[in-house]
Structure 1
Amino acid sequence: MTDLQITAVRKAYGAGTTVLDGLHLTVPGGSLAAVLGPSGCGKTTLLRIVAGFLRADAGSVTLGGRTLTAPGVHLPPERRRIGIVPQEGALFPHLSVARNVAFGLTGLDRAARRRRADEMLDLVGLSGYGNRMPHELSGGQQQRVALARALAPEPQLVLLDEPFNALDSALRAGVRADVRAALQATGATAVLVTHDQQEALSTADLVAVVRNGRVAQCAAPQDVYHRPADPWVAAFVGDAVIVSGTAAKDEATTPLGRVALAAPPSGLREGLVLLRPEQLRLTDAAADARGTVTDVRFYGHDAMVTVAVDGMDAPVDVRVPGPAPVRPGGRTGVRVTGEGTLHPVPHVRH
C-alpha cells in the first residue's frame, strides 16, 4: 500500500519563525486527505516538504514504506514518484494538450506516450482534446489536463495545491467531483491542500485541520464537523454555535435548554457545548428559549437567522430551509435538536 506517513516534521524560516512544529499526519493508501487551515498555518510548506522542494529541519516523511525525508536523508523530487497539480494548471503553453500530459513519461516510444496521454484524457473527461492547445481550454479543462499529466506516470502520491482557487463557484463543484472520480479510478493516494472548508468536507476521505504548524484534528469529514476536537476547530470548519453548559450524565443544561451530549468527556462538569446552526429550530412554544431576531441572511437553498437569546451575551445563528419565516425585530423561540459536544473553556493567554 502507498500509505503516506509524516512524523514530527519541523520547519522554520529564520530566527523565531516556526511554520511546522512537530506535525504528524498519516494518509492511508488510496485515500484523499485534505489539509485544511488558515493562511500561514503551514499547509503549503508541508506540501513542498513532501514533494521534496524544501528540506525539513527535523522529522521524517515515508511513502509506501520508502523514506523520502529523514535526518540525513533527502530524496530528490524526481525520484519520489509524486505527481503535482499546482494552482491554475501551469500547463506548457507551447505544447498541445496530449504533449502536456505525456511530458513526464520516460522510457516509452512516441506511440506509447500518445496512448497513455489519450487514456488519461479519457479518464478526466477530455477524450478527443489531445490536439488542442492550452489557451483553447477553459480553466476547468486546464485543471483536468494538469491532473491527467500528474497521473500519467502512475505516481504513488498526488499533491493538489489549492487547484480550484482560480475557478468560479459554479464550475468548482463539478471539477472537484471529476478530480475525485479520477483519483478513485486510479487508486492513487492524494493530498489536497486548501483553505476552503466546503471543499475539504465534500471532497476528502480524511480532513486534517492544521493550526499553528500542528494537526489540531484529523478524522473523517463528518467526524470533524459533528465531533470537533475543540471550539477553534468547530468555528473554523463550518458555522458553530457555542454556549456554556453544565453536564450531568449524558446531557448538559444550557441557556438554550437541555442538550444531549455525544461522548461527554470524563470528569468534565462545566464547559462549552458545541452545536451547528442546523441543529437549532425556530419555534412558537413558550417553553423554549426566547429571543429577538436581529438579522436574516437568505442564501437560496437556506437562510441564516441570527437571534439574540434572552439571558445570553452573544447571539446564536439558526439555519432554516428556504425563506426564513421571521423578520428582524420579531420574537421567536429556539429549540436544540440532536447532540452536542462538551469541551473545556479554552485558556486565554495574556
Structure 2
Amino acid sequence: MNDHDNELRIEQLTKSYGPEAPVLRGVDLTVPGGALAAVLGPSGCGKTTLLRIVAGFLRADAGTVAVGGRTLTGPGVQLPPESRLIGIVPQEGALFPHLSVARNVAFGLTGSDRGERRRRTEEMLDLVGLTGYGDRMPHELSGGQQQRIALARALAPRPALVLLDEPFNALDSALRAGVRADVRAALRATGATALLVTHDQQEALSTADLVAVVRQGRIAQCDTPQKVYRRPADPWVAGFVGDAVLLPGTVRSGSSTASTPVGPVALASPPHGRGTGTVVLRPEQLQLTDAGTAGAVRGMVTDVCFYGHDATVTVAVQGLEAPVDVRVAGPLPVGPGQETAIRVTGEATFHG
C-alpha cells in the first residue's frame, strides 16, 4: 500500500456523555495521506475525545472513521485498537520503565524475526537522531529524548496513522521547538499520516500542514496554517489563532473596502451587498507612522510592551471603544503619552 493512500476520513462523528453533555456534534475531517493535521482548540472542546475515538479507546455514538478506505469505526463496525494499524505518542512519552530503549522501540514489532526487529529498531533510532541509545534505560534519557523514543516506538510497526496527544506539553519551551521540528521531520521521512492534538496555537501553525480549529464539538475551520491565520472563518477563530485586532466596519454595496475608525481597509473578499460588521486584522498589519502621513489616523500611545525581537505598542484611537495593539520591530519610535498615527497594510476579513 502506498503511504499516500493512508487518507484519514472522519464523517459526522458524534459523542455525548449523557443527554446534557454533547462533546462531538458531527465532526467532519479529511487528512490527506502523508499529511500532518493539528486539531487545535481550547480545553473541553472535544479534541481528546476525538483522538480516543480514532484510536479505538472510546466508542462513538454515530459517524465513521476510515483510514486508507478501511473503516475502523462505523455502523456495525468497531475494530479493536490493536487491529487499527495506528501508532500513538502519548503526552509524556510513557515509555516502559523496565525495558531498554531498543526493547521499547521494538515493542510493537511482534510478527517480525529477531534480525528484522533489530534492523527496524536501529533504523527508527537513526530517524529520531538517537543512534546508539538502544542499550540505555528510559530514566537515563532527558524529556526530549523520551518523546523522540516514543515517536520511534509508534513509527516502528509502519502504522497507517500516527496520533500525537499534546506530546510536547511536558517539555520546557527551549526544548520544545527542537523536538517539534525533529518529530515533523521523522513523520515526513516515513510518509505517515498524523493527527496532532494541541491547545498551543504556535505549535499548530508552525508544525502542521493542516489546522482544524475545534469549537464546542464542531470544526470551526480547517485549512492550511496560513489561511487559518490570514483568512479566519469568524472573529472567534481569529482571536483564538494568534492575536487579532477587531474593528467595527461598514461596507458600501459593491465595495471591497471597509470604513473603520483607523481609516479605509481593503477586504480579501467583499461581502454581498452593504453591511456593518467586524473587520479582522493582525497586529503586524498596523503600522505606526508620523501624524502627518496621508491616510493615517492619529492616536495616543497608552502602553508599550517590549519583547526584545519586537514590541507591542497600544494606541487609543478616537471612535474605538478599546485601544489597538500594533506590533513594532526594531527601535521604538514612541513611548506612553506620546501622539502617533496608524495606517493599515494588507487585506482584512469582514464578518457581518
TM-score, scaled relative to structure 1: 0.96
2:302 corresponds in structure 1 to 294
Displacement after TM superposition at 1:323 (Å): 4.2
Q: Counterparts of 2:167 and 2:89 in 1: how far apart (Å)?
A: 7
Q: Counterparts of 1:167 and 1:264 in 2: how far apart (Å)?
A: 43
Moved over 2 A (4+): 265-269, 322-325
Is 1:285 the counterpart of 2:291? The answer is yes
1:348 corresponds in structure 2 to none
Is 1:273 the counterpart of 2:274? The answer is no
5 Å-filtered alignment, 1:1-350, equals 1-248=5-252, 249-286=255-292, 287=294, 288-344=296-352
Q: Counterparts of 2:85 and 2:243 in 1: how far apart (Å)?
A: 38
Displacement after TM superposition at 1:301 (Å): 1.1
Q: Counterparts of 1:57 and 1:267 in 2: how far apart (Å)?
A: 42
- Tell which deviates more after alignment, 65-74 or 151-160: 65-74
The DSSP-based 3-state class of the residue aligned with 2:139 is helix
| 2:8–2:32 CA contact under 8 A, matched in 1 | yes
- Tell which deviates more after alignment, 321-330 or 290-299: 321-330
Q: Counterparts of 2:116 and 2:10 in 1: how far apart (Å)?
A: 35
Q: Counterparts of 2:282 and 2:85 in 1: how far apart (Å)?
A: 41
- Tell which deviates more after alignment, 159-168 or 279-288: 279-288
Q: Counterparts of 1:329 and 1:90 in 2: how far apart (Å)?
A: 53
Displacement after TM superposition at 1:109 (Å): 1.9
Question: Structure 1 unaligned runs (5+)?
Answer: 345-350
Q: Counterparts of 1:326 and 1:42 in 2: how far apart (Å)?
A: 44
Q: 1:164 to 1:268 in 2, by over 3 A?
A: farther
Q: Counterparts of 1:72 and 1:160 in 2: how far apart (Å)?
A: 27
Q: Counterparts of 2:331 and 2:151 in 1: how far apart (Å)?
A: 40
Q: Counterparts of 1:311 and 1:322 in 2: how far apart (Å)?
A: 29
How many residues are paired up? 344
Question: 1:171-222: per-residue Cα shift (whole Å, max 9, x none)?
Answer: 1001000000000000000000000000000000000000010000000000
TM-score, scaled relative to structure 2: 0.96
Displacement after TM superposition at 1:15 (Å): 2.9
Question: 1:42-90: per-residue Cα shift (whole Å, max 9, x none)?
Answer: 0000000000000000111111000011122111000000000000100
Q: What amino acid maps onto 2:6 in structure 1? A: T
Q: Counterparts of 2:221 and 2:273 in 1: how far apart (Å)?
A: 22
- Tell which deviates more after alignment, 260-269 or 305-314: 260-269
The DSSP-based 3-state class of the residue aligned with 2:99 is coil
Displacement after TM superposition at 1:24 (Å): 0.8
| 1:298–1:323 CA contact under 8 A, matched in 2 | no
Displacement after TM superposition at 1:112 (Å): 1.7
Q: Counterparts of 1:92 and 1:79 in 2: how far apart (Å)?
A: 21
